[in-house]
Amino acid sequence: RLLSPESESRGTQPLGQTHPHKDRQPTQSPAMVMVWTRALLGLAERAPLRFAMGFGAAKTTAADALVQRYVEGQEALDRRRLTVFFSFGVLQVGFVQHWLYVNAFGRVFPNAAIFAAAPWSAKLRDAAGLRNLAAQVGIDQFVYHPFCYFPVFYTCKEIIQSGGARTVSFRDAMNTYAANALDDLQALWRLFIPTSLVQFSVMPMHLRVPFAASVGFVWCGFLSVTRGAEFTMSCRGEAVAP
């Protein structure tokens, strides 16, 4: 084998050969994605409530931050807006939805987990399971969201806009909600009725909240674009239309 003069003098590899460490490829990103995905799924299964609350807070805060920066073009993020979405994510998206989708629905519909794990051929023959699916979607979309989700959201908004005042007008929050209810609910149902059908028919119990929260990233962006700008304007003392 021919050696270069430099190779002979230094005792290095022959020409045409490379150092084995230089050819070593970095860890493949798809493999790392799978590792992290398994870790997150395992955490969601071991501690579903804490995972739901953390996931909800991160999702809602990140969605509003992205909207502020890239949709509205703000150089400095509005911390009051971020605060309301963080609080909303911890309380409503995390704690309340976990209680409803996992605890309450798990008791009222005890075969929900079995139905979700069954193949579609069995699902379509399960009349009771299909009725329970429709009931869960109906409660979620026509009871929980209109009478719990939105009142909590608009109350949180009122708290942030109050600037730390001791008294917050629940009536003002509900008046604002009433003015926006038709648009908000129509947008909600277009996105979340199909989401709920998938959520309650396919997802295991511990992934019900993370799945809805992931889809809710888009919904949170909608709320931030259409309602979030009110926070910044009100802080400047400008007149704000609902």
- pLDDT at 225 (0 to 100): 67
Burial 103-137 (b: 16+ CB within 10 A, else e): eebeeebeebbebbebeeeebeeeeebeebbeebb
Distance CA 4, CA 20 (A): 19
Which pair of structure tokens corresponds to residue 21? 């460490």
Distance CA 172, CA 24 (A): 64
Query: Residues near 137 by Cβ (< 8 Å), separated by ≥ 6?
Result: 193, 196, 197, 200
- pLDDT at 145 (0 to 100): 95
- Long-range CB contacts (< 8 A, 24+ apart) of 33-41? 41/207
**pLDDT, tens digit, for every residue of 175-190?**
999 999 999 899 889 9
- pLDDT at 56 (0 to 100): 92
Query: In this model, does residue 42 exceed pLDDT 90?
Result: no
pLDDT category of residue 45 using cuts at 50, 70 and 90: confident
Query: Residues near 174 by Cβ (< 8 Å), separated by ≥ 6?
Result: 151, 154
Nearest to 173 by CA among 189, 192, 160: 160
Q: Count CB atoms within 10 A of the CB of residue 242.
A: 10
The pLDDT mean for the chain works out to 81
How do the residues of the chain divide into helix, strand and coil, expressed in percent and rounded to 5?
Answer: 75, 0, 25
Query: What is the pTM for the complete model shown?
Result: 0.75
Across 208-227, average pLDDT: 78
Least trusted range by pLDDT, from 26-35, 69-78, 170-179, 200-209: 26-35
- pLDDT at 240 (0 to 100): 25
- Give the H or E element holding residue 181: helix 170-201
Across 70-89, average pLDDT: 85
Task: Tell me the three state secondary structure of residue 22.
Answer: coil
Return the higher-pLDDT residue of 234 and 100: 100
DSSP secondary structure of 150-179? HHHHHHHHHHHHTTT-S---HHHHHHHHHH
What are the backbone angles phi and psi of residue 20, rounded to the nearest 5°? -60, -35
